Structure 1
Amino acid sequence: MKALFDTIKIYPKLIITFLIVLTPLFALSLVMNLYGSASVKTEITNSMLSKVHFYNNTLENEFTRTIKIMREFAGYDDLDLLSNRTEIMSYYEQRGAIRSLQKELSVIKNSSNYIQEASVHIPAIDRTISDDNFGVIRQDEFEALNVVTNIFESPFIYWQNRLFISLPYPIKSNRLTPDFVVDIEISIPLLKNALLQFTSQTAGNTMLVNFEDGWRIGSDEPEGILKAIDSVIQADDTIAADLHSVTADGQNYLVAFEQSKVLGTTLIMYERERTVLGPLRQYTVWFWMISALTFVVILIVSYSVYRLIHQPLKTLVRAFRKVEQGNLNIAFDYRGRDEFKYLYTQFNTMVQRLQQMIKEVSEQNFRVQHAELKQLQSQINPHFLYNSLFILYRLAKKSRDENQIRFTKYLSDYFQFMTRNSSDNVTLAEEVQHAKNYVEIQKIRFAHQIEVVFGELPPAYAGLMVPRLIVQPLLENAYKYGLEKKETGAKLTVQFAEQQMSLLIRVEDNGGYTDQALIESLRKKLEAQDAGLETTGLINVHRRLQFQFGSRYGLRIDQGESGEFQVTIRLPQTTSM
């Protein structure tokens, strides 16, 4: 880890150190804020769940007591007489039994604030008896209430926007005529008003829902919140009581609910989150505002560090990189009076000294290269000169012919090019033409003993300025060390090829000069930077090309595809010379 940190630049190190110092403080503040928020939210959650549980128990106790009274009422003797023994009762006995039942029904009605009407339907006399009414049974209502329900788990019957608790007696299969049906109609307005009282101190609402039968009693809220709550319960119908946060119609709600196994209903209390958690959210907003302010302070400090330390240091590093790349035309004027003033001043002094030293070395190298070129120009091979003069002597004995004319012309051009001292650089076309003159002279000398294939120079490179005598020494090397000793089948090839923004001039001969160890030795000499090496021939050409065009260019010695000795000159596509 330490090694990785050491590789990071100074400015990121400062920022990381600053963050390491502040992060624990920020983390502690964040934990405290989250802990406080969680505690408050837990209290709110427990409060809502407690209220829902209390109100749900209140409803369960209220309706359980009502159901118990209904079961007791179903055992009255007068009710049994009217439903099974009316044929043995006189008119006055029937009237007395009915009045007695009405009194009991009145007691049942007054036993709870939620009861709107208490009635009993007796098919034997085709009458419906209530505390203040005595009339014929309504068949549709009787059929709706003659339903066998689990009175201890789901006692309610919702019919025509009315809510009932029904008790057929005795309990038979649905739709079979019982002796009588006791029913209590729950007052929906009274129940709704009671539910509103549960949340009278808050901005929320309460409703009683039966998801199985699809009815609900409560305030007229949008259907969206009911669907959201239903989806929560349907996702895990084993949840008896819980608190959830749901979104409905673009609003977030806290919903507390509890399912009643006694009534088969779910009591739901919901409030808008922004109402309940408003103060808590305000504290959170303040916390993040302070965090944002802290972040701004960090940015200001970081920017100050950047301006005072990192920017001058970065500029100095960039300057050193430019010096590494060979650019010495840089200087800085630092206006400050701190430690960077001294560094910038010493850097400018160092660059000036380097420029002076490079200038002196370049002038020295140029004088050395110039002297080497003059030396090479003055080294006219005596062997070649004597042979050429002997040929000229033999031709002179004969009659005047085209061979003598051409040979004399080639020889004249050759010596004129070799002895011209006006410029160290010539166009590549002139250099190639000089090499062709040399080859033509050698053709006459060897009388078609050596086959020569000389390619055409691409026109785009004809005007390229190159050092003098870079092709002809390679041809001379091929004749001297290879082709002169070969009696038959000798071949010399000069080819031009464009490759990767460069021009390649390949000189290849089959003179048998292909020993791999010798080729490796020549390669090492070309790559060596020792100024004390021999500076004639291939090495001289290679060094002059690198001096003028750079280390990417120069000579390369290889073994050709057919196993022949091959020397390749690499020249740039363009030059500013």
Structure 2
Amino acid sequence: MGNITKQWAIPIYMKLILTFLTILTPLFGLSLAMNEYGSSSVRTEITRSMQSKVHFYNKSLENEFSRIIRIIKEFTSYEDLDYLSHRSEIMGVFEKRTRIQDIQKELIFIKSSSHLILSAEVHVTSIDRTISDGGYDSIPRDRFDALNIVTNIYESPFIHWEDRLFISLPFPITPNNLQPDFVVDVEIDKEKLRQDFLEFTDSASGNVVWTDQERDWEISAQESGSLGMAAQLSDEAGVRSIVGQGRNYLVAYEKSGVLGTTLMMYEDEKTLLGPLRLHRIGFWLLSGLSLLLIVGVSFTVYRLIRQPLKTLIRGFRKIEQGDLNVSFEYRGHDEFKYLYGQFNAMTRNLQQLIDEAFAQKYRAQNAELRQLQSQINPHFLYNSLFILNRLAKKSRDQTQIDFTKYLSDYFHFMTRNSSNEVTLAEEVRHARNYVEIQTIRFAGHIETRFDPLPDEWVSIRVPRLILQPIVENAYKYALEQHERGGKLRVAFEHIDGDAVIRVEDNGERIGPQDIHRLRQRLNDFNISQETTGLVNLHRRLVYRFGPHYGIALSGGTEAGLSVSVRLPMNNETIEKTEG
């Protein structure tokens, strides 16, 4: 079946698969397009939701800190603070204490105005004291120096110092770094911001990060921080897919021109878009399963067709090899039952026709054989009798005895017609008798070499007169013309498990072109002329043993012609003549 399949570019199995794929591919394509459209829509909604959240919370931070800055600005105009910073030296103890307490109340108010304020303080340089919402102490110089910085409170109000975040406002703003009257600072509660950011996130894999645009500080809901992704945000706002620490994150961000900060929110794409990926994986798994089903169904259908077809092809192969005893039984009740029935009928008809043709040809060959047996060469008979006459005039010797024995055996074999087949030993003995007779006839002119017959060949059954006619042709057409130096050899060889008898002469009357024409006549079974000699012999062997056997022609080793007769080693059948 494999060899048959190779004769076509696309076998039936592949055609079945391609047919199913042609039908289902548009459906899969439509499903894939719908799946991708749905995934794209969901992703768009997710990014839009993230951007909306970031924008809302960024505006909330802007509003909250703008309000805090406004309160701080209003506090710098507080009357008690102005009196304390400019007239503390002329105040009495009671008045000074009263004004300090009033300032503390204002600071407590500032602190309570927003949950994002951790503490509120004012550093009064004239009295070298710091008034806070919770106490009264000397000015801490390191903190004062860090916060006594003039900033654009409306664009970048935050000061980062010792991992703490402040909004500071010196008053008044003096040139040449002169010491201000006081410095108001508010510390931002970073922990409260983290808690707010935690409430702002939707999942444990997400994070909210708030950082200044120089990235000197950041506040993150999770310990992971910005993962270095803040440096990759160049636009004012947007949603991007960014790689951080080897993982893909979907980042929504927005910059604030009011606060000089960037608020970013990111989610692990694998977690955020996990359901979409699962849906896509499910689609491809379904596609793969469908493909396997297509292959399986196609294979099942293919086997339903292949097995009966394989049996039929095996039957045709046997017929091609010459075996017509082929018959199949099909148990099903479909179209193959009809095909099997017609196949069986065809083999029966072929067998009958071949038997009739073979019997007719074989009878014709037997008739030719009988005719050949009756046609003894008159010239040979005349010469043999003439030699016998000459020998008779001489005294009796061993040569005359041998010659008469050879001649007697020869005529005895030629006139015997009890069987169409003999053993190879009998056939070789007859040919050897003929050679011995000719050796006496051409004494000193022709050198003959007749190898002994191998023992395992003795019982091989062959048609009568397959070797002697070949030897006779060698004498008649090649050796009789030699006055001296004629050579004849009969050899026996094993070739590919077959018995091969080779008859070779060194005649000079035949060339390569003659041998080629003889081969053509030998293998042309439709020649409508008299069938004699080698052609007749070759046909008899082919009809008897098959096309693998018969006669082959080639040039001899010393010019001349080499005739090889190939016979099967295991043939032991003897066919009797009719009647």
The reply on whether 1:193 has 2:195 as its aligned counterpart is yes
- Partner in structure 2 of residue 513 of structure 1: 509
Q: How does 1:352-363 map to 2 (within 5 A)?
A: 352-363=348-359
The reply on whether 1:28 has 2:30 as its aligned counterpart is yes
**CA–CA separation in structure 2 for the residues paired with 1:263 and 1:158:** 16
- Partner in structure 2 of residue 270 of structure 1: 268
**Aligned AA (1:256):** V
- Partner in structure 2 of residue 376 of structure 1: 372
- Partner in structure 1 of residue 471 of structure 2: 475
The reply on whether 1:485 has 2:487 as its aligned counterpart is no
8 Å Cα contact 1:490-1:510 kept in structure 2: yes
8 Å Cα contact 2:251-2:264 kept in structure 1: no
Gap change, CA 1:21 and 1:398, over 3 Å in 2: same
- Partner in structure 2 of residue 78 of structure 1: none
**Aligned AA (1:270):** D
- Partner in structure 2 of residue 206 of structure 1: 207
The reply on whether 1:39 has 2:37 as its aligned counterpart is no
8 Å Cα contact 1:259-1:267 kept in structure 2: no
SS of residue matched to 1:534: coil
**Aligned AA (1:217):** S
Gap change, CA 1:209 and 1:550, over 3 Å in 2: farther
Gap change, CA 1:414 and 1:52, over 3 Å in 2: farther
Residue 126 of structure 1: CA displacement? 11
8 Å Cα contact 1:429-1:462 kept in structure 2: yes
1:289-319 Cα deviation digits (max 9, x unpaired): 6996898699779967975x88767766665
TM-score, L = length of structure 1? 0.67
8 Å Cα contact 2:193-2:219 kept in structure 1: no
- 5+ residue gaps, structure 1: 1-5, 75-88, 170-176
Residue 352 of structure 1: CA displacement? 2.8
Residue 557 of structure 1: CA displacement? 2.5
Q: How does 1:6-25 map to 2 (within 5 A)?
A: 20-25=22-27
Q: How does 1:157-172 map to 2 (within 5 A)?
A: 162=163, 164=165
TM-score, L = length of structure 2? 0.67
**CA–CA separation in structure 2 for the residues paired with 1:234 and 1:570:** 94
Residue 544 of structure 1: CA displacement? 1.9
The structure whose Rg is larger is 2
SS of residue matched to 1:530: coil
8 Å Cα contact 1:145-1:183 kept in structure 2: yes
**CA–CA separation in structure 1 for the residues paired with 2:552 and 2:272:** 81
**CA–CA separation in structure 2 for the residues paired with 1:49 and 1:549:** 94
Please point out which of 240, 248, 251 is paired with 1:256.
251
8 Å Cα contact 1:155-1:263 kept in structure 2: no
Residue 538 of structure 1: CA displacement? 0.9
**CA–CA separation in structure 1 for the residues paired with 2:494 and 2:152:** 99
Residue 206 of structure 1: CA displacement? 1.7
1:88-141 Cα deviation digits (max 9, x unpaired): x98999x99999999998888677644545789999x999997657568698x9
Q: How does 1:113-152 map to 2 (within 5 A)?
A: 113-116=115-118, 132=134, 134=137
RMSD: 6.1
SS of residue matched to 2:510: coil
SS of residue matched to 1:277: helix
- 5+ residue gaps, structure 2: 1-7, 77-87, 171-176, 574-579
1:409-436 Cα deviation digits (max 9, x unpaired): 5555545554554544445555455544
- Partner in structure 2 of residue 79 of structure 1: none
The reply on whether 1:218 has 2:221 as its aligned counterpart is yes
Residue 543 of structure 1: CA displacement? 1.0
**CA–CA separation in structure 1 for the residues paired with 2:27 and 2:555:** 72
Q: How does 1:395-410 map to 2 (within 5 A)?
A: 395-398=391-394, 403-404=399-400, 407=403, 410=406
Gap change, CA 1:473 and 1:298, over 3 Å in 2: closer
Q: How does 1:228-307 map to 2 (within 5 A)?
A: 242=239, 244=241, 255-258=250-253, 263=261, 267-270=265-268, 273=271, 277=275, 281=278, 285=282
1:421-459 Cα deviation digits (max 9, x unpaired): 454444555545554444444333322433445567677
8 Å Cα contact 1:118-1:185 kept in structure 2: yes
User: What is the aligned-residue identity percentage?
Assistant: 47
**CA–CA separation in structure 2 for the residues paired with 1:145 and 1:565:** 125
1:492-511 Cα deviation digits (max 9, x unpaired): 34455555555554433221
Please point out which of 442, 445, 460 is paired with 2:441.
445
SS of residue matched to 1:269: strand
Gap change, CA 1:297 and 1:16, over 3 Å in 2: closer
Gap change, CA 1:365 and 1:49, over 3 Å in 2: farther
**CA–CA separation in structure 2 for the residues paired with 1:320 and 1:58:** 89
Residue 380 of structure 1: CA displacement? 3.4
